[in-house]
Structure 1
Amino acid sequence: MNEAGTNEPFLGQLLGDNPYFSAGFGLMALGAGLTVARRGFLQASQLTRRWLICDLEIASKDASYDWFLDFMAKQQRNRHSEASKMSKPSFLGRILKPQTRSFAVETTYKQHANGSITASFELVPGPGRHLVKWNDAYILMTRERSERLMDNSRNKPFETLKLQTLYTHKYVFNEMLKAAQQSAQQRQSGKTVMYTSLGPEWRQFGLPRRKRSLDSVILASGVKERLLGDIESFLDSQKWYSDRGVPYRRGYLLYGPPGSGKTSVIQALAGELDYNICILNLAEVTLTDDRLNHLLNNVPPRSFLLLEDVDSAFNEARKKNAEFGSGVTFSGLLNSLDGVTSAEERIVFMTTNHPERLDPALIRPGRVDFKALIDNATPNQVKNMFQQFYGPEYAEEFVELVLKRNIPVSTAQLQGLFIFHKGDPKGAIASFESITE
């Protein structure tokens, strides 16, 4: 038999008659086909996602992060309230209805004078995936929390919110962000927000406070009226400043003895003008020149910047620390207030109990444009405060007692006395001598 005749039966047996080879070849072909199909499916899904799906990411460092979480919690409450009033939804409605099954709790509480605590609990979407609906658009929201990175501005783990929807519904992102901002503003309506510095950013301190009425602050005649008039004039003069090339900034120095109402009138002015307050402690050891400059150039809109007890920031101990590179320097403060890099459209309040300790360079015009003495209570202040708490009866008697004692009395001392004797003017009169001893 020739060589060819010898090989043909062998090849035939190997290729056609051998079931093991046929099965292996078939599996290889099937595997290759599945691999190609899988790659095609992944490419098709990626292409589809690229053209049909759009994403939005919100980092926890962004101001809108908390707004959006609170807004989502509010929407969830509204949906539950509406669902309880409606009949059973259709099958399709049950399949596609927005769902949030993972929550995180945010607790706020208030401790009362009698020791009791009133707490409120807010359920916000927790880490994980949530299906939400805005108008007619369905959105997949994913909240992710890092196990390694920290968000120093919040002193919490770094988080992100990722929103996904159809490309044709991308407009809902702007709508939802604007609605979240409006919802946050509504919660703060009629209130004053306090900010403190946390790292390089301003962060809200505590809950928004009810606006303080300007009438509730009783100062010497004309003081608060002059302050309010000057601020209103400044706010109406932006074009005047711009036309003359003058930096659009205004600085105020309120000085006087402790407890005379310096901080109170600032809070009342903020409430009157619908402003918030950013409080900065210059004596903070971790505050540096660079951080100070950054904070002063990034004050939230419509906010007063308050530097309390500015005289204590540069005592001998602080100056000694500054020599070793710890804390803000005096030249750093001056440059932040009106240097080349200082921001405009800014209103700065400084307070001090000892104006004589302030360096003239700090309170020169351009850094301090308006000075106001907030002194101990005058007889007229004493009378007005007494009437505010008790009415006109016994007011003259109380004023005569104060004049007879001839001892300086602060408005804080008077307020403490009147609060202790709520509804008891005679008790306040009888106890007046105890606050001046």
Structure 2
Amino acid sequence: MGELAPVQPDYVTPSSSKDSLISKLYENLNSNPYFNAGAGLAGIGIAMGFLRRTAQISNTFLRRRFMITLQVNNEDAAYPWLLDFINKRSATQTRNLSANTTVHQAESGKTELSISFLPGHGTHFFVHDYRWIKVERQREKQVIQKDGIRTPFETVTLTTLGSDVKFFKRMLETSAKEAIDNAETGLVIYQAVGPQWIRFGVPRKKRDIDTVVLDGNVCEQLLKDFQEFIGSATWYADRGVPYRRGYLFYGPPGTGKSSFISALASHFGYSVCLLSLSERTLDDDRLNHLLNTAPPNSVVILEDIDAAFVSREDPMANHPAYQGLSRVTFSGLLNALDGVACAEERITFMTTNYVERLDPALIRPGRVDRKQFFGNATDNMMRKMFERFYHESSDSPLAEQFVRRVSEQKSELSPAMIQGHFLMHKEDPRGAAEHVNDMFKSV
């Protein structure tokens, strides 16, 4: 009998046993539907978390590099200006508005109501300077004290694409300029009472400079001269020249001297200080004090200065009729206008109907830097006045008819007389052109 082969014992290495167990475990888990669903959800969750985190990082990067933001709260003076600016440019995009109502009641009982509409709370979009801008207006829980009234704290946030922060700076400056230009301000008149300047009544309605019609380019020249002076403080200081400006407006009565000064002051945002040299209580000391303590951003008007003084070269200077008209001496006036103690940054206007009566020392350079004649109405002035008053076109046949009929009378008219005639025919330009003779009945 042959020998039996030895039986080899079953022997499994540790590594093969481990692989077998892992394989069986994987097969069991793979066949388990609950595990597959959970693993899938976990994978989706991890992927979504990664995508969310990537989106956040990308959003932060994009906002920092390619977007700019402006935030303003209602404690800032520019807040209502900015909201009004947005509302004007988003009128067709937003339908969510908030109303701001103001009631003005006079002592007489007359009541005026004004309502302004601003963008409501929430998100709005508007276009400015070819850019889409996102607006978020939010109201917080905290309360602030504003003008004695407790008001909820609010913020408005503007966001747009770009990297130039000057875009929002320019926009904020534009909104502020629009608000200031449209603000209801008036012409403040000051009157000398004792040694002080006191406001005279309520502010007058400002007069548009375009409503004063002068011959040729006189208006443009005076505007340029005034503008150049108020912007030249450093130039005067560097050269040691006193920073003062004196104007003399002369011409027949009713030619617009005082009207133009008021319009000029209104145009540049200045107040007007009226001073009469013929006032019985005015003396040299008080005159000097008043001229040197005029309110900031104001002009001083010495009207009809010829009525207070006549030229020392005039034979009538010693006439009794001209004696005692004023306690102000001529030398006192000269020192007040151009003396050692005179204040800087002062603008003085003198008006007269008779420039020939004024002493040369009074109107020399340094006291009067610019003289301007205001004459009676020329054909061009009458044409412009007619067109402006009745809103006629530049080639209006009625305006030409009016000018022709006035010229036929061979007599001069002042702008004040022509304006008075127009007021008699407020809504009737044809009547104003046909009844020209009415103006000459009182001439």
TM-score by length of 2: 0.56
Counterparts of residues 4-403 of structure 1 (less than 5 Å): 135=145, 189-314=184-309, 320-321=323-324, 327-390=327-390, 391-392=392-393, 393=396, 394-403=398-407
Choose between structure 1 and 2: higher helix proportion: 1
Unmatched tracts of structure 1, length 5 or more: 1-105, 110-117, 122-133, 139-184
2:426 is aligned with 1:431: no
Q: In 2, Cα distance between the equivalents of 1:349 and 1:317? A: 28
Q: In 1, Cα distance between the equivalents of 2:256 and 2:242? A: 29
Q: In 2, Cα distance between the equivalents of 1:305 and 1:189? A: 23
Q: Equivalent residue of 2:308, what SS?
A: helix
- Deviations, residues 86-137 of structure 1 (Å, cap 9, x unaligned): xxxxxxxxxxxxxxxxxxxx9766xxxxxxxx7689xxxxxxxxxxxx959x
Q: 1:430 offset after TM fit, Å?
A: 2.8
Against the structure 1 CA distance between its residues 222 and 287, is the aligned structure 2 distance closer, same or farther, given a 3 Å change threshold?
same
Q: In 1, Cα distance between the equivalents of 2:307 and 2:183? A: 33
Q: 1:397 offset after TM fit, Å?
A: 0.7
- Deviations, residues 192-230 of structure 1 (Å, cap 9, x unaligned): 100010000000111101111111111101111111101
Against the structure 1 CA distance between its residues 276 and 318, is the aligned structure 2 distance closer, same or farther, given a 3 Å change threshold?
farther
Tell whether the 8 Å contact from 1:318 to 1:327 is kept in structure 2 after alignment.
no
How many correspondences in the alignment? Answer: 263
Q: In 1, Cα distance between the equivalents of 2:215 and 2:276? A: 28
Q: In 2, Cα distance between the equivalents of 1:365 and 1:311? A: 18
Against the structure 1 CA distance between its residues 319 and 108, is the aligned structure 2 distance closer, same or farther, given a 3 Å change threshold?
farther
Tell whether the 8 Å contact from 1:283 to 1:314 is kept in structure 2 after alignment.
no
Unmatched tracts of structure 2, length 5 or more: 1-104, 113-143, 149-179, 311-318
Q: In 1, Cα distance between the equivalents of 2:335 and 2:220? A: 31
Q: Which amino acid aligns with 2:406?
A: V
- Deviations, residues 43-92 of structure 1 (Å, cap 9, x unaligned): xxxxxxxxxxxxxxxxxxxxxxxxxxxxxxxxxxxxxxxxxxxxxxxxxx
Against the structure 1 CA distance between its residues 294 and 420, is the aligned structure 2 distance closer, same or farther, given a 3 Å change threshold?
same
Tell whether the 8 Å contact from 2:247 to 2:369 is kept in structure 1 after alignment.
yes
Q: 1:426 offset after TM fit, Å?
A: 2.1
Against the structure 1 CA distance between its residues 289 and 319, is the aligned structure 2 distance closer, same or farther, given a 3 Å change threshold?
farther
Tell whether the 8 Å contact from 2:265 to 2:272 is kept in structure 1 after alignment.
yes
Computing the radius of gyration from Cα coordinates, the structure with the larger value is 2
Q: 1:296 offset after TM fit, Å?
A: 0.4
Tell whether the 8 Å contact from 2:402 to 2:434 is kept in structure 1 after alignment.
no
Q: In 1, Cα distance between the equivalents of 2:254 and 2:244? A: 28
Against the structure 1 CA distance between its residues 189 and 107, is the aligned structure 2 distance closer, same or farther, given a 3 Å change threshold?
closer
2:412 is aligned with 1:408: yes
2:425 is aligned with 1:421: yes
Q: In 1, Cα distance between the equivalents of 2:275 and 2:186? A: 20
Q: 1:188 offset after TM fit, Å?
A: 8.7
Q: In 1, Cα distance between the equivalents of 2:295 and 2:182? A: 17
Q: 1:356 offset after TM fit, Å?
A: 0.4
Q: Equivalent residue of 1:321, what SS?
A: coil
Q: 1:253 offset after TM fit, Å?
A: 0.5
Root-mean-square deviation (Å)? 2.7
Against the structure 1 CA distance between its residues 198 and 119, is the aligned structure 2 distance closer, same or farther, given a 3 Å change threshold?
farther
Q: 1:234 offset after TM fit, Å?
A: 0.8
Q: In 2, Cα distance between the equivalents of 1:196 and 1:218? A: 27
Q: Which amino acid aligns with 1:260?
A: T
Q: In 2, Cα distance between the equivalents of 1:192 and 1:249? A: 22
Q: In 2, Cα distance between the equivalents of 1:233 and 1:294? A: 27
Q: Equivalent residue of 1:351, what SS?
A: strand
Q: In 1, Cα distance between the equivalents of 2:225 and 2:106? A: 41
Q: 1:435 offset after TM fit, Å?
A: 1.4
TM-score by length of 1: 0.56
Q: In 2, Cα distance between the equivalents of 1:108 and 1:331? A: 47
Q: 1:384 offset after TM fit, Å?
A: 0.5
Tell whether the 8 Å contact from 1:193 to 1:209 is kept in structure 2 after alignment.
yes
Q: 1:403 offset after TM fit, Å?
A: 1.3
Against the structure 1 CA distance between its residues 305 and 286, is the aligned structure 2 distance closer, same or farther, given a 3 Å change threshold?
same
Q: In 1, Cα distance between the equivalents of 2:218 and 2:349? A: 15
